Amino acid sequence: MLSKEQIAQRIAKEVKNGQYINLGIGIPTLVANYIPDELEVVLQSENGLLGIGPFPTEDKIDPDLINAGKQTITMVKGSVLFNSAESFAMIRGGHVHLTILGAMEVSENGDIANWKIPGKMVKGMGGAMDLVASAENIIVAMQHCSRDGASKLLKECSLPITGIKCVKKIVTDLAVLEVSPKGGFVLKERAPGVSVEEIQEKTEGKLIVEGEIPEMVF
């Protein structure tokens, strides 16, 4: 099984040189730590910044400089600030190449649910609906099963959905899977020590297994 850091590390391998990327809250934020130095990429924060830098040292904290998770951050050389309407123009306009976000559920046709548990949790969708409706490539980072052991890779989402037919790839603690355009989760890689059978057992939606499934290498 992969740790959260390893999920982030595996997703970082999907990042390509020259991309503008939006990272969601949680595991996706950790991806920034594993993007190889030789790649030139720009991280977008949807409140209004291109070019997110590392967290500030104690003496450089600025309450007027936060990311979409409201964490204090810094800027990098070449950063630019703008208003939130402009920020979402970049997102909807397809200028942000890659969106990495967390999810509560993903369905076998690429629907994602991550904003609401009726009667229990009402936090709001933030920018997630705009992001999943617009980005050309959407990767989900999540645990394969919920805390009570229920599969999060489903035939159909049971929770209110955030976007339809948008997720391209999912990296969980057990596996890397792609959403087939015809429907179904195509198993691409296994976490070290995890069998195809275990992944099958923990995937409620249709799992497509073709040939030998390689084990991830770290």
Q: Which residues are catalytic?
A: 46
**Minimum CB separation from another protein for residue 137, in Å?**
15
**Minimum CB separation from another protein for residue 77, in Å?**
16
The span from the CA of 116 to the CA of 162, in Å, is 9
Q: 94 or 192, CB closer to another protein? A: 94
Q: 49 or 104, CB closer to another protein? A: 49
Helix/strand/coil (H, E, C) string of 7-51?
Answer: HHHHHHCCCCCCCEEEECCCHHHHHHHHCCCCCCCEEEECCCEEE
Binding site for another protein (CB under 8 A): 45-49, 54-59, 61-67, 69-73, 81-85, 87-88, 91-92, 111, 119, 122-130, 133-134, 160-164
The span from the CA of 42 to the CA of 179, in Å, is 26
**Minimum CB separation from another protein for residue 218, in Å?**
24
Q: 68 or 199, CB closer to another protein? A: 68
Q: In this structure, are residues 41 and 18 in contact, taking their beta carbons and an 8 Å threshold?
A: yes
